[in-house]
Structures are given as C-alpha cells and as structure tokens.
Amino acid sequence: MDDPRSKHGRFSWNELLTTDPQAAVAFYGQLFGWTTQDWPMEGFTYTIVKAGDIDVGGIMPIPPHAGGMPPTWGAYVTVDDVDATAALAEKLGGKILVPPTDIPTVGRFTVIQDPQGAVLSAITYVQK
C-alpha cells in the first residue's frame, strides 16, 4: 500500500487548531461524514479525524502559547529529515515558527513560514 506518510514531499496530514474542538468535531462530522477518535494528550484531547477507516487529520485546541491565533487548518508535508528541512527553509529565506519538536510515538515536526508569509508544517514520522 502506498502510504503518503512515507514519501518525502507529500502532503500527509491536516490539522485544525480551534477555540472549540467539540463544536468543530460536530460541524465537520455532519458536513463531511467524518468519524473521530479521541486521543488523550498531556493537558488536552487530540481528536483523530477519519474518512471511512482512514486517518486523515486531527482537531485540537489552540495551544496557550499561541494566544490570539484565529482557528485555522494547517497542512503537514512529509520530509526525510525535519532538522535538515528547517535549516534549508531558513537558508532559503523562510522563518521557523516552531523549531523541530518531537511528538512522542508520532514523529518530529517543525512549522515554517515561507518568504511570502505562508505557513506550512513539515514532519518526519517514526518508522513503524
């Protein structure tokens, strides 16, 4: 099976950061027929979004350190090496908004801003 999470350069995950995760789950569940599965995290619940039986994204509360941020969807692109990708993004004129950070049992991610201001996340998943 062709797993998008294993291919460098592919969009592989979508994530909503919002002020009301429960309302978002209800809205998108009715809108798209998504089902969900809650995953307790340290200090909050992360909700996995499923299209059929395929995990396609997540919904979570806006983190406290991002106060004032409006609710927004973000996209993740798989990369072979998050640290190298962050360094290259800076070299190419981008800005690192969240430095390379581990997500236990998932992988390592970073959030970058391109020179025009667009924001995107890069992630390297743990090998399972």
Would you list the domain boundaries of the chain? 15-74, 79-128
Q: Using CA atoms, how far apart are residues 110 and 123, in angstroms rounded to an integer?
A: 7
**15-74 against 79-128: fold identical:** yes
Q: What is the per-residue pLDDT for 4?
A: 62
Looking at this protein, which amino acid is placed at residue 52?
G
Report the alpha-carbon distance of residue 41 to residue 58 in Å, rounded. 13
CB 13 within 8 A of CB 57: yes
The one-digit pLDDT tens for each residue of the chain (128 residues) are 467 678 999 999 999 999 999 999 999 999 999 999 999 988 999 999 999 999 999 999 999 888 788 999 999 999 999 999 999 999 999 999 999 999 998 999 999 999 999 999 999 999 87
CATH topology of domain 79-128: 2,3-Dihydroxybiphenyl 1,2-Dioxygenase; domain 1 (3.10.180)
Query: Domain 15-74, what fold?
Result: 2,3-Dihydroxybiphenyl 1,2-Dioxygenase; domain 1 (3.10.180)
Cα 106 to Cα 2, 5, 24, 92, 94, distances in angstroms: 18, 11, 23, 27, 25
